[in-house]
Structure 1
Amino acid sequence: MAIGRRTRDALAVVAIALASAGLLVSPAFERGRGLSLDALTWLRFETFGNLHDAADSPAVVVAIDEESYQTPPFRGSPLLTWTGEIGRVLTAVLDGGAKVVGFDMVFQTSIEQSEIPLGDSTLGEKTRGFDRDFLRALASAAAGGKVVLGEIFGEQPILPAPGQRVAVRQQQNLRPLNTYTDSDDVVRRHPLTLSVDGKAVPSMALELAARARGTTPVIAPEGVTLGDYNVPGSVPGTMSLNFTGGADDVPTYSFADLRACAIKGDKDYFRREFAGKVVLIGTVGIEDRRLTSKRFATRAEGARRPRCVLAERKLTETFARSTIAGVYIHANAVNNLVRQDAAIELGRFAIFAIAATMALLAALLARLLRPAAAAAILAGLGLLYTGLATALFNHAHVLPLTEPLAAGVLALAATTGYRFMVSDKDRRLLQKSFAYYLAPREIDRMLASRRLPQLGGETREVTVFFSDIEGFSRIAEQMSPEQLMALTNEYLSAMTDVIESHDGYVDKYIGDSVVAVFGAPLDDPDHARSAARAALGCKAKLAELNRTSTAFQGIKVAQRIGINSGAALVGNFGSQRRFNYSVMSDAVNVASRLEGANKFYGTTIIASDGTVALAGNEFAWRELDTIRVKGREQSLKIYELHGRAAELSSREQALLTGYAAGLAHWRAGELPQAADRFSQGALDDAPCDLFAQRAKAALEGGAAAWDPVRSLQEK
């Protein structure tokens, strides 16, 4: 069964939209899917800044940073030897009111376990008891559930040293530090649970948040609940991270400063900074750095909170890196869980629906509009959608960006290609084939109606335009056929361009003559005004050709133009197999006679009174005469289009005024006065000269020789 063009195009648009959306949501685009979250994190930060005051962050970081490595007594000492001072800071932080402390670092061994020979013993034997203060601090904190040590699950698990595990009561206070990485090596989600021997174990972040809120997480196959918060997650067992951006989102303290503060005994500082906080202790430097969904919204890092003892340190790193230290991933996950603002991502079907909607809009735009206009509107829709997505992300809702926008661009390109290759192929062929025979607007109207041209027409008000080259036979005698063709083609091309630029339609060429119509096939309520403007334009263009055209061979070409307005039948006329879009009525015949009347009056443009009434006062009209043309009994007043009223000189104004006065005397039968008036302008003006001779002849011939209406029996 054959389907119509409209149905075919509609099916093509829907198919392109669905295919574009399906491709962008398919696994083939998996690596680009996370870009939505990355882009929204950046857009929100650049638009709104941080949504929370850093001082209100539930989680803070104690950074073992470059400053700590360079500050005595740690300078030149391996981290393994810092345990006693770490224990000192741990105790001070907990005494300051911290809710819980988590370690984002694993001391796998102890210096007390070293078997390196030292004198008559080993290093371990010589340093026996070195970790005692650290272990005591861990044990004390573990007794109140205030500390959680980190471990890393894997084929070869990374565990704290045995003494540390005993101090924190083994698995009671041990939680995994594993992170979740997308296929493009970017961290956008964080584990809530990990499986060990078929048992779900809370991650470090979930455990710290649960202890901070004083509740126990409920782990079920359908998800994780923390108190009254059902933690959202697009990947089972994970939560989507909601980074705020910048470098001040998680308060950071230099370990070296806190160690000096603990020795100083400034308990007020620890209470002021750590009361009610979740504290994470970890390294912040060039190691353990990760790409996250915050990668476009990072800033230069450093200890940003007020110091206790050490002076403010000038940061040597003033640039923003796209990576962040791993400890900030855990801190951000804790903040999301405590604030209950983990990112809420849509499912694959919802993303497909949004992408398909955007692709369908793009395909429809490409089908109905020109490519540039369709692209501009799609860009505007894309900006509006991006703004909406950015605003919604303030409330943790993640609308997909890459899939809908990319699907829209793909659908726009595909539909444009479809139009070029299939849908518009017939249109282009028809326009190319008939552009030389039919009016361009008639072709467009025919294509819009999806119907082929048919015989028949309609009656409407139009203005008919006739033009002719004066003395064309004389010019033809002076030129070879090739030269005459070059002159004629250049003249007709120039006149056609002027006529069409004023919304006229060239009906036909008859030798050197041009027949045009205004007001059809395109509706034009100002058709008379358009025709008058075109006539003046043709007159000016011919003057230019006389000055510049090489095809004119130095011959000064003159033209005559007739304009008439009235009701006419416009449409397709001819036989059943060949026809032409044309105009037919008495108004056409009158326009032809007016064109010929110019040679009697020595004028260039003559219009009927009907055209003058419709065209208005924009133009300077001179009433020439009242005539009766051949083949028509009814008389009509004719006017010369002298120019534009605003451009009329005082001399021209005086000429037209004098002519009008002479014409009034002529019609009143006051022949001496008429002869006197017309003779005043006879030397410079052909119509005045003509009427001066007519008035003289009437005076000589008596009353029988005077007739106010002139009959033109010649064309």
Structure 2
Amino acid sequence: MRRIGGRDIVAATLIALLTGAIFTSPPLQTLQGLSLDILTAMRGRLLGDSRNTATSPVVVVAIDSETYDTPPFKGSPTQTWTREIGRVLGSITEGGAKVIGFDVIFPSSIEQSEIPFGDTAVGGRMKGFDRDYLIALRQISDSGKLVLGEILSNDHPEVPYRAQQVAVRNTVRALNVHTDHDDVIRRMPLSFAIEGRPVPAMAVELAARAAGAKPEIASSGATELSGYAIPSAVPNTMALNFRGLGRDIPTYSFVDLRACVEKGDRDFFRRAFDGKVVLLGTVLNFEDRKLTSMRLAGGYDGTPAARCALPAPASTVQKSRSDIAGVFVHATAVRNLIERDAVTELGFPMRTILTIAFAAIIACAACLLAPSGALLTWSALTLVYAAVAVSAFVHALALPLTEPALASLAALAIMIGYRFMLADRDERFLRKSFAFYLAPEVIETMVTSGKMPALGGEMRNVTMFFSDLSGFSSIAETMTPGALVTLMNEYLSAMTDIIEGHGGYVDKYIGDSIVAMFGAPADDPAHAANAVRAALKCHEKLSELNASNPAFAGHGLSHRIGLNSGEAVVGNIGSRRRFNYTVMSDTVNVASRLEGANKYYGTAIMASETTMTQSGDAFAWRELDAIRVLGRGEAIKVFEPLAERDVESAEQAKVTAAYAEGLACWRAREFAKAADAFGQTAKTDPASALFAKRAQAFTANPPPADWTPVNTLEGK
């Protein structure tokens, strides 16, 4: 995590203000609607809707495809359906409906038809056809339970024909909806100015009649209905709450109700419509379809209600659609008003403040963290915020969702660009300048503190790693300089990748030798095990290079690796003008000696007892000997790591067992038995061959009584 300065704070603030203002500005106001769509989808998919349709205060009577396909309506123009509509409306009213609203408009009557029929027009022969229908409208209207619908328009208004208007004493209300700029219906108008006075929209009129109240304008400017202040972020509109995705509205097929009238089942009408607001409308696949805030979730054309007289159609499985029949938009609005469940949206100032605050948080994260970390932070915080927004939407509060998410993402991108172009130039210069000379952790400390590295060190428990190519000097003499450089670069690169991949730090290269340490600069409690694992991988990698890399062809390179763990001084060591991050102590010297000791035993990797102990039980080992290295009086036991625990081969296990038996006999001065034990594997194991030869010599000429089983190495 980088330090954040005053300039960074100013930049983060300006970026948050800019992105917040942009994404809540009027040109991008469709994002507010998109938030409603996403919240509706997430709430519907994650939480569903547990409301019982039987308790719905609103029901729909659908003039559906079943109606069009069933006699007596099949093949008949809708203008001839009015008598049957009047009969069904009468039964619904007798069943106890509170109020009936028309989402269908009959702009003309069959009595007005001028199509010739014999010596007169069809209309002349049909005089009086609508009389019973108009009488039914008048009776229901006089009881205050009927509202016809109309479409207001300056160009093409659509209104019921004049006789209907007279029958209902002009109780006609607008069915117009509020369409956003993206042609999606998310809000419903509350009223319309007609002849200079506000007239309630259809949904408000129906809810008011059901509640026995009149809509009023409060001092705050909000429309109130029975004490309910209708939330209205967009003036004179109500945000629709599609809590049940349309499935919360019971839907009756008109043709089934007509058959129910013929059947004379008054109890059914009482059970279905008592105390309900009823909306009559068309529910067809290709007529009066509306895109709403359910478009992402998928809406439903109600829930099929109980049947009275006709069997249900064979195909009754409902599928969600991006659009719904228009009558359900009005039904949802009425239910929202009656249940006081309309969506409350934040006003422009609060949406802007919330968006800017979220963008500021992400901008600060982008300033503090690496780009990947900042992106993860943005993802996590956006998910948390989305969960909070969905929880709030369960209670009909719509928090802005897309605006904060997009503004903060833009702030993230801009802040990363700002850091790259301005703030991090010095840091990149330091990293680039010192990358080849200092450990990454040292550079990180230098960048974080803002200070250049200084002389000094500390005691750390580390594992030293020394490696050297066997007989490389003689091989190098036969190679051209170019080929030699290519070979060394390939070798050192491969070994360094493995060492650093296991948490090691390469201190230096000395010709073909590598000096590395594990456990510093970065803390690593498992430094011994990581060093052993790296040594085994390096040995394996060299075999692969010899077999497949053209630069190694014909050379058959082998190397020796020494490992030792213990306390050491690590830090910036050198002169005041030039220094390296390196390590100093006897631990280093012993590791160097163990690397050279491999040549006596014919082994590739040798580790001290300390390293073997600190690496735990992760590996299969064999004890090689107790040795005394040059420049050190104390004897140490040395071990060879064979493989990961339980991965060693059967041959390795056989050699280890025979070697352990021979070593035990050797230390017990049973040299003949030791020679026999070592001899079992002497042909394939150089260390066994060495001990077999020494044991045979001692068998012929036993050592003095004060002999100790310690091998003193004379050279490095």
Give the TM-score range, shorter chain: 0.7 to 0.9
Tell me, what secondary structure is at the counterpart of 1:461? strand
- 2:291 aligned partner: 291
| 1:240 matched to 2:248 | no
Relative to structure 1, the CA distance from residue 252 to residue 596 in structure 2 (aligned partners, 3 Å threshold; closer, same or farther) is closer
- 1:335 aligned partner: 335
Identity among equivalent positions (%) equals 50
| Contact 1:609 1:637 (C-alpha < 8 Å) held by counterparts | yes
Query: Partner amino acid for 1:624?
Result: D
Q: Shift in Å at residue 189 of structure 1?
A: 1.0
Relative to structure 1, the CA distance from residue 61 to residue 525 in structure 2 (aligned partners, 3 Å threshold; closer, same or farther) is closer
Relative to structure 1, the CA distance from residue 80 to residue 561 in structure 2 (aligned partners, 3 Å threshold; closer, same or farther) is closer
| Contact 1:606 1:638 (C-alpha < 8 Å) held by counterparts | no
Tell me, what secondary structure is at the counterpart of 1:262? helix
| Contact 1:189 1:239 (C-alpha < 8 Å) held by counterparts | yes
- 1:142 aligned partner: 141
Relative to structure 1, the CA distance from residue 571 to residue 93 in structure 2 (aligned partners, 3 Å threshold; closer, same or farther) is same
Distance 2:709 2:74 in 1: 121
Relative to structure 1, the CA distance from residue 688 to residue 48 in structure 2 (aligned partners, 3 Å threshold; closer, same or farther) is closer
Relative to structure 1, the CA distance from residue 459 to residue 642 in structure 2 (aligned partners, 3 Å threshold; closer, same or farther) is closer
Relative to structure 1, the CA distance from residue 430 to residue 109 in structure 2 (aligned partners, 3 Å threshold; closer, same or farther) is same
| 1:105 matched to 2:104 | yes
Query: Partner amino acid for 2:197?
Result: K
Q: How does 1:206-605 map to 2 (within 5 A)?
A: 206-220=204-218, 222-245=221-244, 248-285=247-284, 286-298=286-298, 301=301, 304-314=304-314, 321-363=321-363, 366=366, 375=375, 378-422=378-422, 426-600=426-600, 603-605=603-605
Distance 2:553 2:131 in 1: 114
Distance 1:581 1:397 in 2: 59
Please, what TM-score do these two structures have when normalized by structure 1? 0.85
Relative to structure 1, the CA distance from residue 165 to residue 458 in structure 2 (aligned partners, 3 Å threshold; closer, same or farther) is same
Deviations 1:51-103 (A, max 9, x none): 43223222222333444445555455544444443333332221222112222
- 2:657 aligned partner: 653
Please point out which of 182, 185, 188 is paired with 2:183: 185
Deviations 1:9-58 (A, max 9, x none): 44444444444333322223222321222233333334444443223222
Distance 2:710 2:119 in 1: 144
Deviations 1:388-426 (A, max 9, x none): 444443332323332233334434444454555555555
Relative to structure 1, the CA distance from residue 697 to residue 609 in structure 2 (aligned partners, 3 Å threshold; closer, same or farther) is farther
Distance 2:447 2:490 in 1: 31
| 1:688 matched to 2:691 | yes
| Contact 1:254 1:303 (C-alpha < 8 Å) held by counterparts | no
Query: Partner amino acid for 2:691?
Result: C
| Contact 2:622 2:640 (C-alpha < 8 Å) held by counterparts | yes
- 1:90 aligned partner: 89
Please point out which of 656, 662, 666 is paired with 2:666: 662
Distance 1:317 1:664 in 2: 90
Distance 1:437 1:690 in 2: 47
Relative to structure 1, the CA distance from residue 447 to residue 250 in structure 2 (aligned partners, 3 Å threshold; closer, same or farther) is same
Deviations 1:88-139 (A, max 9, x none): 3332221222112222234444555677888888776665544433332232
- 1:622 aligned partner: 623
- 1:669 aligned partner: none
Tell me, what secondary structure is at the counterpart of 2:554? coil
Distance 1:175 1:680 in 2: 109
Relative to structure 1, the CA distance from residue 14 to residue 590 in structure 2 (aligned partners, 3 Å threshold; closer, same or farther) is same
Distance 1:460 1:348 in 2: 59
Distance 1:257 1:326 in 2: 21
| Contact 1:601 1:690 (C-alpha < 8 Å) held by counterparts | no
Q: Shift in Å at residue 456 of structure 1?
A: 2.5
Tell me, what secondary structure is at the counterpart of 1:327? helix
Query: Partner amino acid for 1:202?
Result: P
Relative to structure 1, the CA distance from residue 635 to residue 177 in structure 2 (aligned partners, 3 Å threshold; closer, same or farther) is closer
- 1:668 aligned partner: none
Q: Shift in Å at residue 546 of structure 1?
A: 4.2
Deviations 1:645-681 (A, max 9, x none): 754523432323323442454xxxxxxx558746874
Relative to structure 1, the CA distance from residue 525 to residue 174 in structure 2 (aligned partners, 3 Å threshold; closer, same or farther) is closer
Deviations 1:463-507 (A, max 9, x none): 333332333333233333334334433333333333333322221
Distance 1:239 1:393 in 2: 15
Distance 2:116 2:528 in 1: 113
Relative to structure 1, the CA distance from residue 541 to residue 176 in structure 2 (aligned partners, 3 Å threshold; closer, same or farther) is closer
Please, what TM-score do these two structures have when normalized by structure 2? 0.85
Relative to structure 1, the CA distance from residue 269 to residue 499 in structure 2 (aligned partners, 3 Å threshold; closer, same or farther) is closer
Q: Shift in Å at residue 320 of structure 1?
A: 5.0
Q: Shift in Å at residue 197 of structure 1?
A: 4.0
Distance 2:577 2:448 in 1: 22
Q: Shift in Å at residue 311 of structure 1?
A: 4.5
| Contact 1:628 1:709 (C-alpha < 8 Å) held by counterparts | no
Tell me, what secondary structure is at the counterpart of 1:488? helix
| Contact 1:58 1:277 (C-alpha < 8 Å) held by counterparts | yes
Tell me, what secondary structure is at the counterpart of 2:660? helix
Deviates more, 1:380-389 or 1:190-199: 380-389
Relative to structure 1, the CA distance from residue 74 to residue 508 in structure 2 (aligned partners, 3 Å threshold; closer, same or farther) is closer
Tell me, what secondary structure is at the counterpart of 1:134? helix
- 1:196 aligned partner: 194
Tell me, what secondary structure is at the counterpart of 1:153? coil
Distance 2:509 2:128 in 1: 114
Q: How does 1:54-93 map to 2 (within 5 A)?
A: 54-93=53-92
Distance 2:381 2:427 in 1: 29
| Contact 1:623 1:660 (C-alpha < 8 Å) held by counterparts | no
Distance 1:34 1:488 in 2: 64
Distance 1:146 1:252 in 2: 19
Distance 1:573 1:143 in 2: 103
| Contact 1:469 1:513 (C-alpha < 8 Å) held by counterparts | yes
Distance 2:560 2:442 in 1: 28
Relative to structure 1, the CA distance from residue 624 to residue 97 in structure 2 (aligned partners, 3 Å threshold; closer, same or farther) is closer
Distance 1:493 1:257 in 2: 83
Q: Shift in Å at residue 184 of structure 1?
A: 1.2
Distance 2:705 2:259 in 1: 131
Distance 1:594 1:82 in 2: 105
Q: Shift in Å at residue 570 of structure 1?
A: 1.6
Relative to structure 1, the CA distance from residue 141 to residue 427 in structure 2 (aligned partners, 3 Å threshold; closer, same or farther) is same
Deviates more, 1:403-412 or 1:144-153: 403-412
Q: How does 1:32-47 map to 2 (within 5 A)?
A: 32-47=31-46
Relative to structure 1, the CA distance from residue 625 to residue 316 in structure 2 (aligned partners, 3 Å threshold; closer, same or farther) is closer
Q: How does 1:132-171 map to 2 (within 5 A)?
A: 132-155=131-154, 158-170=158-170
Relative to structure 1, the CA distance from residue 574 to residue 165 in structure 2 (aligned partners, 3 Å threshold; closer, same or farther) is same
Residue correspondences, number: 700
| Contact 1:112 1:127 (C-alpha < 8 Å) held by counterparts | yes
| Contact 2:301 2:325 (C-alpha < 8 Å) held by counterparts | no
Distance 1:265 1:563 in 2: 100
Please point out which of 168, 172, 175 is paired with 1:174: 172
Deviations 1:220-253 (A, max 9, x none): 3621222132222222222111224456432333
